[in-house]
Structure 1
Amino acid sequence: MSSVSQVQLTSSTENNHHYLKNLDFFLRLSVIPFSAASIWVTATTKQDNSTYGNLEFNNFIGLKYLICINAISASYALVAIVCSWFKFLLTKAWIFFVSDQIAAYLIVTSGASVIEILYLAYNGDKEVSWSEACSSYGRFCSRAKVALILHVFTFLCFLILSVISAFRVFSKFDPPSIPSKGVENDGES
């Protein structure tokens, strides 16, 4: 390979890493308002019904869990941003990889719990004689859906961050070498 093509390849690789670093920073920064908005919408979700009584977010463990996971993911995103600015604080790419994976999985579990709550609120469960509740608590259900949508945006940010951090970790290793056909045939003779 000529020195000109090596310089172009190195320049292209540096541009890609710079682009990924900027994308990483933007996504981590985006997690904070999405999580904060989801926390706010969830925490202020309540509705009073003259027939059935007051319904608040803290009546549901799944919504409390959603708030906790959003707080954890926003805090982690802030710490990761600070650590990326100060290289001496955290230089191991695999730590971001593992942390991004954990955050993404926690976000999936909390989102699933809210999906289950909303499913039961909209459809009920006829086998155990639960009727749907959203006709009586429509504003509560709508706000819970908005919180879930904001939570999904947080998940999408962490999904892309997981891919970026995986690329950073695994790009440090050479791909496995595949033996050539000539080597295999020589061993059989």
Structure 2
Amino acid sequence: MNRSIVFATNNAHKLEEIRQIMPNNLEVLSLKDIGCDVDIPETGTTLEENALIKAQYVLEHYGLACFADDTGLEVAALNNEPGVYSARYAGGVGHDSEANMAKLLAKLADNTHREARFRTVIALVAPKENTLGITQPLLFEGVVTGNIATQKQGNEGFGYDPLFVPDGYDKTFAELGANIKNQISHRARAVGKLVDYLKR
């Protein structure tokens, strides 16, 4: 019997990434799939809070098991900016990746300390009666460390991928492509922990 779970996103890139990693017997639904067209406000000050806000919203309004993620790029030389504000770093509405990357490069300028990490936190919630064995909200974290390149490189991926060079590689996420990124990324690591839990 196929079980289903909602991933609280309408980001097609994220959805595709997650569906490739999830077990085959678990159907992953998007917000659009359940008829939710609300842009759930991310009012938390931490990744953990934002992930929980999104997951709890779906549980409260639709009564469905749900997981949500929030991801931040934390640059050591910038006191872990942009962090929880990664998607809105350059201000304005929406997620303007080009403007965000331009701001990050400008703030780092010729700084030689370019250590950074991507961190994803996933929150998982479910109704009282559920087949997933969930009795309280659960959090799963994935981290990948690396460095910020001095200029954009590569065309794949999304967000800050053209700037982030993971440790052990000499190419950005955007150059490495989805197959490699999905094996080593922060989101892959957090989802891996989520999948391990669901498989149990």
Asked if TM exceeds 0.5, the reply is: no
Higher RCO, 1 vs 2 (CA within 8 Å, ≥6 residues apart): 1
State the TM bucket, normalised to the shorter chain. Answer: under 0.3
Whose radius of gyration is greater, 1 or 2? 1
Larger helix fraction of residues:
1
Q: Give the TM-score normalised by structure 2.
A: 0.23
Larger strand fraction of residues:
2
